[in-house]
A and B are shown apart, each in its own frame.
Chain A
Amino acid sequence: MGFDMSAIHLKDLNIFYGDTQVVHDVTLDVAPGESFALVGESGSGKSTILKAIMGLAPDWTGTIEVDGKPRSHGPDRAFSRQCQMVFQDPYGSLHPRKTIDATLAEPLLIHGLKNRDARVVELLGEVGLDARFRFRFPHQLSGGQRQRVAIARALALEPRFLLLDEPTSALDVSIQAEILNLLKRLRKERGLTYLMVTHNLPVVAFMCDRLAVMRHGRIEEIASAEALKTGALATPYARELYRLSNPEETAEEQP
């Protein structure tokens, strides 16, 4: 296929939970190597889109293509090596009774990969965790350390696409900075494509190339990060979000 093929391609995507439709006619394309943000308030359907891509929200119509291949409606093994997800809550995303070692080795075991011991040590190193952490249990780790483990697990199968669901919203700002730096570095080193859900516009300005502003399950606007940084957003809702997320600067502009 052509080189202009998009990494993640959604067309007329409608997603349902039971009888309620939570996402309406979403169409967007994420380019290979791009970092794309889905922004909106709670209930805007942004996380649901990630779940549908991963196969965790099976009830959808329309098109989801990742790397040019249409997605099935459930999780599958081949897809799991291409695309992984990092969850919001570092406390809920690690199995409480498994050591970090077991958590990181699990994807390798499922796919029958060799050299598991070496890989686990390597993964820990890549997310900036000391090898001392290898045989600890999650409750012995801080929130930031757990999120590093979750990122390491997502990288274990060496996927090219990473879906990030509010990866830092449960963390303190200083820890958030560390995790954002880590994600940025990993993307550069590994040429990853990110699709990131967040409600935090400054995080988008730091991490992403483009963003889609969502509201009530629809995309209001797709804009570049440059437009976000300067506040040059087209729709009133996006401008309102911008104003609310940035009270200092907007207040200075209009004294």
Chain B
Amino acid sequence: MSLLDIQNLTVTFPTPRGPVNVVDGVSLTLGTERLGIVGESGSGKSMTGRAILGLVRPPGVVKADRMEFEGQELQGLSDRAMRKIRGARISMVMQDPKFSLNPVMTVGRQIEEALRTHESLPRRALKARVAEMLEAVRIHDPERVMGLYPHEVSGGMGQRIMIAMMLIPRPRILIADEPTSALDVSVQGQVLDLIDELVRENGMGMMLVSHDLHLVGRYCDRVMVMNAGQVVETLDAKNLHAAQHPYTKGLLAAVPRMNETRAELPTLDRSQWAST
């Protein structure tokens, strides 16, 4: 059964030149699998994730023919009901841990808080769960880290803490929006491996939103390529290099390679598919 079923999702923002569809008729289903959403900035990939969680701020308007999570329609849910789902059932890891963690609360408190809003547990059990979760994200001295403030941890550690915070209520779906683009390459791999492992172990569904085709290809089962709010094509990550659409091909070719021999990088000729 699919966890998430979205039909014809549209996110519209008003501009002085009339309304603009930032997401324009996107349909997708997500099972217990890893779905990558790739696109350039402005392609609507992040907005898709936000729309699912009801995080599109006014004046943005979200419309869809269907937006079901485990058979339950998400549109028209009250703020209260939505808060129950957000975090507990569907959670989201954002780009930069620096902006997502509360700077005046210790790491331990924040993770506890994330758990407590969704489950009531005695204090001792709470602590134990937090420590266990921190170990699951490969933080080896959870006791010490729990007492630290966000500015005292490195970027990679911060992102692992974010992941711990997001996964501790045991959600069904994790939406990771550029979870590693603020991190160094050496840490990127570790964080993604970690997300990957936790998602597989817990039988969750994951949506990995990224601008990096290769990264998405490595960590996902399916890849959905977006451009200008629309899905350009969806393909198996294995077949990424056999992409058909000129946009996907262009994106792949534009990335410099390590054993680069081309004197010039091919650039996208947007006139091929650009509508406006």
- Residues of A near any B CB (own CB < 8 A): 41-42, 143, 172-178, 180-181, 184, 199-203, 205-206, 228-231, 240-242, 244-249
B12 to chain A, nearest CB (A): 21
> Quick check: A245 and B256 within 8 Å, CB to CB?
no
Chain A contacts for B40, CB-based, 8 A = 172-175
The docked-state distance in angstroms from the alpha carbon of A163 to that of B152 is 32
Closest to B265 in A: A177
Report if B79 contacts A (CB, 8 A).
no
Chain B contacts for A180, CB-based, 8 A = 256, 265
> Quick check: A201 and B254 within 8 Å, CB to CB?
no
Quick one: which of A177, A206, A245 contacts B185, CB cutoff 8 A?
Answer: A245
The docked-state distance in angstroms from the alpha carbon of A174 to that of B251 is 6
> Quick check: B41 and A201 within 8 Å, CB to CB?
no
| B219-276 at interface with A (beta carbon < 8 Å) | 250-251, 254-260, 262-268
> Quick check: B258 and A228 within 8 Å, CB to CB?
yes
Report if B71 contacts A (CB, 8 A).
no
> Quick check: A174 and B254 within 8 Å, CB to CB?
yes
> Quick check: B186 and A205 within 8 Å, CB to CB?
no
Closest to B215 in A: A247
The docked-state distance in angstroms from the alpha carbon of A74 to that of B250 is 44
> Quick check: B185 and A173 within 8 Å, CB to CB?
no
> Quick check: A178 and B267 within 8 Å, CB to CB?
yes
Among B41, B211, B265, B267, max chain A CB count under 10 A is at: B265
> Quick check: B267 and A244 within 8 Å, CB to CB?
no
Known pairs A174-B40, A230-B259. 9 more at Cβ < 8 A? A172-B40, A174-B254, A174-B267, A176-B254, A202-B260, A205-B258, A229-B258, A244-B185, A247-B189
Report if B140 contacts A (CB, 8 A).
no
| B1-50 at interface with A (beta carbon < 8 Å) | 40-41
> Quick check: A177 and B267 within 8 Å, CB to CB?
yes
> Quick check: B184 and A229 within 8 Å, CB to CB?
no
The answer to whether A245 and B264 touch (CB under 8 A), given A41-B185, A143-B41, A174-B250, is: no
Chain A contacts for B256, CB-based, 8 A = 177, 180, 200, 202-203, 205-206
> How does the 8 Å CB contact mask read for B170-195 relative to A, with 1 for contact and 0 for none?
00000000000000111011000000
A45 to chain B, nearest CB (A): 14
B96 to chain A, nearest CB (A): 13
Among B218, B251, B255, B263, max chain A CB count under 10 A is at: B255
Report if B214 contacts A (CB, 8 A).
yes
> Quick check: B186 and A202 within 8 Å, CB to CB?
no
> Quick check: A174 and B268 within 8 Å, CB to CB?
yes
The answer to whether A202 and B257 touch (CB under 8 A), given A172-B41, A174-B251, A247-B189, is: yes
The docked-state distance in angstroms from the alpha carbon of A174 to that of B269 is 10
> Quick check: A184 and B185 within 8 Å, CB to CB?
no
Chain B contacts for A175, CB-based, 8 A = 40
Among A180, A205, A206, max chain B CB count under 10 A is at: A206
> Quick check: A229 and B259 within 8 Å, CB to CB?
yes
Report if B60 contacts A (CB, 8 A).
no
The docked-state distance in angstroms from the alpha carbon of A206 to that of B256 is 6
Nearest 8 CB-CB pairs, A to B?
A177-B265, A177-B254, A172-B40, A41-B184, A206-B256, A202-B256, A205-B260, A174-B268
The docked-state distance in angstroms from the alpha carbon of A205 to that of B258 is 6
